[in-house]
Amino acid sequence: MAFETITVDTSDDITVITLNRPDALNALNQQLLQELCQALEEADGSDQTRCIIVTGSEKAFAAGADITEMADKSYVDMVGQAYFQAQSERITAIRKPVIAAVAGYALGGGCELAMMCDFIIAADTAKFGQPEINLGVIPGMGGTQRLAHAVGKAKAMDMNLTGRFMDAEEALASGLVSRVVPAKKLMDEARGAAAKIAAKSLLASMAVKDTVNRSFEVSLAEGLNYERRTFYGLFATQDQKEGMAAFQEKREAQFRDK
């Protein structure tokens, strides 16, 4: 299917999905989220893709859910349509690593989408925020939950209650993003990180994603148990044999996802 609100480019083993509604600062409407889910699932199922990057434009990663689309909805509409629920679940069900490369505004649903990715690389122009309070609502896709996990209660409360934006430097210091780079270098940095990930065993990188995400869902004891069992399980793979043999033989490992 031809996409209208995103572009998708796969080269080497990296798929870059670019949000593309420039007139609305990439506001997330139903169509965009449907297309994004479809593109993510296609990349997840593709033999070629080993890492995915989600990005936006220089001005905006995404300025939030589409307010025009939402404004006239009723409670019954929202509940009845389970607004954005299915799409959020589809995005977080992606098994391959997903990097968010964020320049400009990542607000509301845009910030929440970035936080649904596995980690965020930010341009020095990035601005994160949960300004839903200014609209008389609260976040609905993780802005009170994932943000609190990422930056702690004080900053999550501050951002959600005041609606203020956090710049890239503060986002880095707060643990919301893993790296900040000059805006012109954003995609090089994201592709570099994706290439590093793509060179590993996909079985191991999917296991990392699964187990780190599990840490946000369960107690420490359960998480450690889950991690240990996943670790043991990787000893059933050829990639474990190859990785450890390569270390002993002082050569680069050639992983085959087996």
Closest residue by Cα to residue 38 from 13, 17, 61, 63: 17
CB of 56 to ligand CO8, least distance (A): 12
Residue 65 is a catalytic residue: yes
Distance in Å, CB of 64 to ligand CO8, minimum: 3
Collect all residues with Cβ–Cβ distance below 8 Å to 72 and sequence separation of at least 6.
none
- How buried is 71 (Cβ within 10 angstroms: 0-12 exposed, 13-18 middle, 19+ buried)? exposed
Known catalytic residue at 112: yes
Footprint of ligand CO8 on residues 176-215 (CB under 6 A)? none
Residues 51-80 as x/- pattern, contact with ligand CO8 by CB under 6 A: ------------xxxxxx------------
Q: Is 132 in the site for ligand CO8 (CB under 6 A)?
A: yes
Among 99, 108, 176, 239, binds ligand CO8 (CB under 6 A): 108
Task: Spot the catalytic one: 62, 110, 129, 132.
Answer: 132
* Phi and psi torsions of 104, nearest 5°: 70, -150
Residue 129 annotated as catalytic? no
Query: Which of 83, 97, 205, 237 forms a contact with ligand CO8 (CB under 6 A)?
Result: 83
Q: How far is the CB of 39 from ligand CO8 (least distance, A)?
A: 20
The verdict on 109 binding ligand CO8 (CB under 6 A) reads: yes
Distance of alpha carbon 209 from alpha carbon 216, whole angstroms: 12
For 242, the enclosing helix (H) or strand (E) is helix 238-248
Query: What is the DSSP code (8-state) at residue 235?
Result: G
Amino acid at 124: D
Beta strands in 84-183, from DSSP E residues, in sequence order: 98-102, 105-107, 119-123, 127-129, 165-167, 179-181
Interaction pattern, residues 222-251, with ligand CO8; x per rule: CB under 6 A: ------------------------------
User: Which are the contacts of 164, defined by CB distance < 8 A and separation ≥ 6?
Assistant: 129, 158
Q: Which residues of 29-64 are buried (b: 16+ CB within 10 A; e: fewer)?
A: beebbbbbbebbeebbeeeebbbbbbbbbeebbbbb
Scanning 11-19, 31-39, 132-140, 179-187 for contacts with ligand CO8 by CB under 6 A, the matching segment is 132-140
91 lies in the binding site for ligand CO8 (CB under 6 A): no
Q: Is 58 a catalytic residue?
A: no
Catalytically active residues, by annotation: 65, 109, 112, 132
| Interface with ligand CO8 (CB under 6 A) | 24-25, 27, 63-68, 83-84, 105, 107-109, 131-132, 135, 139-141
